[in-house]
Amino acid sequence: MDTTATLFLPPGGSTIAGEVDALFYFLVYASIVMFGIVLAGMIFFGLRYRHRQGDAAAPTAGISHNTKLELTWSIIPTILVVIVFFWGFNVYLKMNVVPKDAMEIKVTGQKWFWTFDYPEGANTVNELVIPAGKPVKLLMSSKDVIHSFFVPDFRVKMDVLPNRYTIVWFEAKREGTHNLFCTEFCGTGHSSMIGTVRVVPEREYAEWLETASNVGSDLAPEQYGERLFVSKACVTCHSLEGKSVVGPPLNGVFGKPVALTSGGTVIIDENYIRESILEPQASVVAGYQPVMPTYQGILKDREIDALVAYIKSLQ
Ligand code: CUA
């Protein structure tokens, strides 16, 4: 559980780091000792039995094997390998069995950044903020190619795949900042897929979460709505210049009547916009396909209010 940097490894910042390091250094030093024994033996026998002037040919009759020696060089390495297996399996289980009380954060990898979504509504890009002393479970997936989530200080690394969830968990010991990398070569922007993990005391985390979950509260509803219109991708289907794209244009429509595919007419007001966001198939504007996805569960009331205010302002 040492937190200082060692010969081959950066400072350990998670509860598992010490155990990973111990196993790693056991393997390194055991390999060095083995290497030393083999090398010393080679040199010793090379010198001791080197060819000298006038030596007779080596006798071969009666020499077949040495049982004691062969058992020794079989049994000792076997014991070492078995130790490493059980030791490694034990650490592997600890790294893979998520504690029940772990808090969960959704991680999305995409070319070329990381997004972190908190259950409380906050989301961040390239910065994971977590409380110290609490187990954190990351539920990860990719929007495009294979990425790999790696925090060297925590000794955790896990591939992040499209169409599948992978999980990694850790518990940061104390406050501090740690580097976050993508370790799968995912394209030209691979090297820029870096971020930070910021570990803060639990109380500070609660405050941060509160603020981060209310992004936009400092903006006027129209301004916040304008941002959401882009970030939630409304802009890809709705023109603001009177053009028909996939969906109808949204500028200058507020308060005006519009014909529906079902035959009737509706006045575009706050309730109609809200309904169109949450139940897009309920009243489709004539001339358009019912292809809009529902934003039920994706947008919060505050966000819908802001979008309504924004569309209202587009006269
Ligand atoms: Cu993502 Cu490399």
Q: Are residues 112 and 197 in the same domain?
A: yes
Distance of CA 48 to the CA centre of its chain: 58
CA distance 269 to 248: 15
Ligand 1 midpoint to CA 203 (Å): 33
Helix (H, G, I), strand (E, B) or coil at 81: helix
Atom nearest to 112 CA in ligand 1? 1
Q: What is the pLDDT of residue 35?
A: 96
Residue 2 has pLDDT above 60, yes or no: no
Average pLDDT, the chain: 89
What's the pTM value of the predicted model, to 2 decimals?
0.65
Q: Are residues 39 and 80 in the same domain?
A: yes
Q: Are residues 84 and 173 in the same domain?
A: no
Atom nearest to 191 CA in ligand 1? 2
Q: 159, 192, 213 — which closes off a domain? A: 213
Residue 32 has pLDDT above 50, yes or no: yes
Q: Are residues 109 and 207 in the same domain?
A: yes
Q: 186, 213, 240 — which closes off a domain? A: 213
58 within some domain:
no
Q: Are residues 239 and 207 in the same domain?
A: no
CA distance 311 to 252: 8
Structural domain total, the chain:
3
Q: Are residues 250 and 151 in the same domain?
A: no
CA distance 34 to 59: 30
Residue 1 has pLDDT above 60, yes or no: no
57 within some domain:
no
Residue 274 has pLDDT above 90, yes or no: yes
Output the domain CATH number for residue 309: 1.10.760.10
User: Using a 6 Å CB cutoff, which residues line ligand 1?
Assistant: 109, 147, 182, 184-186, 190, 193
pLDDT tens-digit map of 152-186:
999 999 999 999 999 999 999 899 999 999 999 99
Q: 183, 213, 243 — which closes off a domain? A: 213
CA distance 125 to 107: 10
Ligand 1 midpoint to CA 182 (Å): 4
Residue 293 has pLDDT above 80, yes or no: no
Range of the domain at 234: 221-313
Cα separation values, 8 from 11, 20, 148, 161, 298, Å: 10, 12, 21, 29, 45
Q: Are residues 299 and 239 in the same domain?
A: yes
For residue 57, what is the DSSP state? P
Residue 297 has pLDDT above 70, yes or no: no
Ligand 1 midpoint to CA 150 (Å): 10
Atom nearest to 190 CA in ligand 1? 2
Output the domain CATH number for residue 21: 1.10.287
Q: Are residues 112 and 194 in the same domain?
A: yes
Q: Are residues 107 and 130 in the same domain?
A: yes
Establish how many alpha carbons lie within 13 A of residue 256's alpha carbon, considering only the half-sphere containing its beta carbon.
13
Q: Which two tokens stand for residue 148?
A: 């790999």
